[in-house]
Structure 1
């Protein structure tokens, strides 16, 4: 994000300059021998340390796990200094043209779609290609950094876009107007992060760079409300969090098989999801191991379950890198933007509502190659499959496995301008059905950061 005002740097420079003069003033202060002067110096030194910390690490607020090569997160900037607070504004305009097989180009220009929607397109009898244009992934964000809040820096971050679901308010008839949608909203202080942001269960530093953001079969990509504590440990850092529990069944239609006396089996859960992740970062790459513990409640039963995930970003030749992630367990809505359910609803109906957590696994591998400083490509392959036998009805019914392949060419002539073209191929297997179904998509994208 660009610098909006140099006031922050100028003010900081004055304070830091004052700090630099402290050693030369020390003999004079010592000669005066006044305790009140010593107290003032100690207080000034404490304030200078806080200001130096801001200069080094918090010139502006930024999204967690932000990486220079991740186009979907806010970049660092200086912002505008107001009192003890630096305020920053940023985001990007993203325009996409999507050509999809099997009838893509759905209501409200939700053409960017979701993997579970791609599976429905692949199963359909439609065989024509449809076109959709959209700018709904455009994003804006506000950040603040306030120094000396109980001897630490307090940061806040608010991020919104317009990529709501197809049934949300909006149209593509005349105005193409859409409501803003909350993506992230959190505050951070002394290692604590409270609010809504990306789940601790996934390290975004290992997210493959594709134009159709996060839409791979097996990658963990979820934002939700949480309380997280981050601490330094040998070799890296440890992140621990309590996160919003949800089995997601209320988001979809499963006809009458989910109903007991007209009510759904699941909704919000009684105990938060418990997540921990250990990161190791160095010149040799980024490596993470993460664990998830969940309790899923039905109207008549509950069960503890969980999942694990390993991820890495490994540098290779020049600026090239390999990105990997493998996950296993009761992943449900955490993986692939909810390709599999959190519980096997049909099996539970047969037992009168006993909870039966649904296990699945997913693996993603990507290689990013820089042709030049401005041109790069990513080839990403992601595969997920059901470990348990899937149920055969409902919106997600019968999906046994899904595989996605993305290949792109991206051009960044300036840090604030990115253009790209991407081809995606999906293959879906349905339980107890011969053969598989395919979906294809080509995407042109232009992104302008501010």
Structure 2
């Protein structure tokens, strides 16, 4: 059929009118789509606002804090649960296969194995496994109230349990604290340490010099230029080995200022301690400082540092050295023991799933330790070095398999003697 010229002309003339009339319809469709999208976003925000996505201060810096994930809301409070199962195989020199206990895994106990001539021994354990609970309640006095509870089974060697039949051990408290309006009350990592600088090793915390302590405290957090400032009163304590004197009259005062940005994490911390001895009726005020950093390098790689100096005592190396000179204490005088320690680590990602960390750590007693023997300052060493190298594979964020080698060197007080300890550790960590 041929189109009549008049019909064609009318149609062409009507096209602009048709286009004009279609614009409002298209606009209406677009508005409805935007409204629908807005409603979906609002619904999503409403769901997220009621979920506990993290425990107080939960970041990737501390993998032991509650994982991200939605929780169960009951009334005005959202409850979440997390943790991990960690299975370890430890093969150690000097007859140390690491018994299924906590105390044998301390650096000062590695020194005893280093001095031994026994063969290498192997041990298996799952006692580092942890579980945790977190809560979040909105509008408690105009602020959000968050709580966090964490436990594991890594109790002392003399705790109930055995390796002969059951390998059953009691849970122990690791962290239990709450946060409200900038305040924190309860037990958590000391303000004197920086978890962002903590190297990633399988035998976590067991380095010669790293600051790694959890204890009860009252802490206040405030915003500061480039980051935040924290100040706390923390539980005081002194002692050595199995001796805990518990005769302190004043809390430890700690403070830390941290800067976090695209160029890395930087922190400076200070501590004041009043060390006392009731038996000698003597006391001394002592202090310590710590500097730390985590600096990004190439890709996802980073380098981590920590340097500490002063009356570090129990705060450094999992209580490697006493808080005071033991010989002077036996003579009726409190003499804070001055030590220093440095840790450096480089973490390299071979692929998004494969990574390695190389960690070196060194600590030494600054005070004179020439006298050795009964009643001396230390019974075995006054300097230690540790080196860790590992290979970790994480096919999923909830699963990490790894193999790690560590080497320790212990220098003895008052001599040129040195002893070495070595350890191979295989680990599987499954988070939930």
Q: TM-score, normalised by structure 1?
A: 0.82
Distance 2:330 2:195 in 1: 37
Per-residue deviation, residues 71-127 of structure 1 (Å, max 9, x unmatched) = 33322211111111110000000000000000113544559711011011112232x
Distance 1:331 1:56, change over 3 A: farther
Distance 1:349 1:327 in 2: 27
Find out whether 1:280 has 2:280 as its counterpart: no
Distance 2:368 2:51 in 1: 49
Find out whether 1:289 has 2:268 as its counterpart: yes
Per-residue deviation, residues 360-383 of structure 1 (Å, max 9, x unmatched) = 000000000000000000000000
135, 142, 147: which one aligns with 1:151: 142
SS at match of 2:204: coil
Q: Is the 8 A contact 2:128 2:154 kept in 1?
A: yes
Find out whether 1:419 has 2:398 as its counterpart: no
Distance 2:208 2:126 in 1: 24
Distance 1:423 1:57, change over 3 A: farther
Q: What's the CA shift for 1:426?
A: 0.2
Q: What's the CA shift for 1:348?
A: 2.8
Match of 1:222 in 2: 213
323, 328, 338: which one aligns with 1:342: 323
Distance 1:348 1:109 in 2: 30
- Equivalences for 1:198-237 in 2 at 5 Å? 198-237=189-228
Find out whether 1:75 has 2:57 as its counterpart: no
Q: What's the CA shift for 1:167?
A: 1.4
Match of 1:257 in 2: none
125, 129, 145: which one aligns with 2:120: 129
Structure with the greater alpha carbon radius of gyration: 2
Unaligned runs of 5+ in 2: 1-37
Distance 2:135 2:68 in 1: 12
Match of 1:120 in 2: 112
Per-residue deviation, residues 373-419 of structure 1 (Å, max 9, x unmatched) = 00000000000000012463479524210000000000000111110
Match of 1:59 in 2: 52
RMSD: 2.3
Distance 1:344 1:317 in 2: 45
Q: What's the CA shift for 1:59?
A: 2.8
Q: Is the 8 A contact 1:217 1:384 kept in 2?
A: yes
Q: What's the CA shift for 1:18?
A: 12
Q: Is the 8 A contact 2:52 2:80 kept in 1?
A: no
364, 368, 371: which one aligns with 1:385: 364
Q: What's the CA shift for 1:57?
A: 11
Find out whether 1:401 has 2:393 as its counterpart: no
73, 86, 91: which one aligns with 2:78: 86
Q: Is the 8 A contact 2:174 2:214 kept in 1?
A: yes
SS at match of 1:336: coil
Q: Is the 8 A contact 2:86 2:129 kept in 1?
A: yes
Q: How many residues align?
A: 389
Distance 2:98 2:297 in 1: 40
Q: What's the CA shift for 1:168?
A: 1.2
Distance 1:110 1:309, change over 3 A: closer
Per-residue deviation, residues 57-77 of structure 1 (Å, max 9, x unmatched) = 97344254x332643332221
- Equivalences for 1:238-253 in 2 at 5 Å? 238-249=229-240, 251-252=241-242
Find out whether 1:173 has 2:164 as its counterpart: yes
Per-residue deviation, residues 282-301 of structure 1 (Å, max 9, x unmatched) = 00000000000000011211
Q: Is the 8 A contact 1:61 1:156 kept in 2?
A: no
Match of 2:6 in 1: none
Match of 1:374 in 2: 353
Q: Is the 8 A contact 2:153 2:172 kept in 1?
A: yes
Distance 2:303 2:41 in 1: 44
Unaligned runs of 5+ in 1: 1-15, 22-50, 254-263
Q: What's the CA shift for 1:354?
A: 1.6
327, 350, 357: which one aligns with 2:308: 327
347, 360, 366: which one aligns with 2:339: 360
Q: Is the 8 A contact 1:108 1:170 kept in 2?
A: no
Q: Is the 8 A contact 2:89 2:124 kept in 1?
A: yes
SS at match of 2:330: helix
SS at match of 2:52: coil
Distance 1:344 1:242 in 2: 25
Per-residue deviation, residues 133-161 of structure 1 (Å, max 9, x unmatched) = 00000000000000010111000000000
Match of 1:24 in 2: none
Q: What's the CA shift for 1:20?
A: 6.7
Q: Is the 8 A contact 1:382 1:405 kept in 2?
A: yes
Distance 1:408 1:20 in 2: 45
